[in-house]
């Protein structure tokens, strides 16, 4: 169970971390997607920093309450991404990454709860 927890946790942390860097740097592709979704560009670095902080928080076991909030933030971000892409009529290809992220986040969280009770 602990191995499955760490695999899902590292994968969701990588997903959030890797997607947060382009947001912080405001690379043109990230800006284009954000504008396509109808969000202001100034929000991009804030979201990027939040993603990276959430990824870091779920990797460190010392602060369980912070970890709980980080999981919640990650889920809110992914649900928001899914809903945003759905609302503008994007293809299934745009909907898949947030769905995969949600599966990973929920799996990681469920495994965290099971393994932290040991």
What mean pLDDT comes out for the span 10-24? 97
- The answer to whether the CB of 108 falls within 8 A of the CB of 12 is yes
Identify the sign of the CA torsion 111, 20, 50, 40: negative
pTM higher than 0.95: no
- The answer to whether the CB of 41 falls within 8 A of the CB of 62 is no
* 68-114 confidence digits (pLDDT tens): 999 999 999 999 999 999 999 999 999 999 999 999 999 999 999 99
* Residue 118 confidence (pLDDT) above 70: no
* 27-56 confidence digits (pLDDT tens): 999 999 999 999 999 999 999 999 999 999
């Amino acid at each position: 169970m602990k191995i499955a927890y760490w695999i899902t946790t590292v994968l969701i942390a990588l997903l959030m971390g890797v997607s947060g860097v382009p947001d912080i740097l405001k690379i043109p592709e990230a800006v284009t997607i954000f504008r396509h979704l109808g969000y202001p560009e100034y929000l991009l670095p804030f979201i990027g920093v939040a993603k990276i902080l959430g990824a870091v928080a779920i990797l460190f076991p010392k602060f369980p309450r912070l970890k709980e909030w980080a999981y919640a933030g990650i889920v809110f971000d992914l649900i928001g991404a899914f809903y945003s892409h759905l609302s503008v009529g994007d293809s299934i290809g745009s909907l898949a990454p947030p769905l995969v992220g949600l599966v990973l986040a929920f799996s990681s969280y469920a495994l965290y709860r099971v393994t932290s009770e040991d």
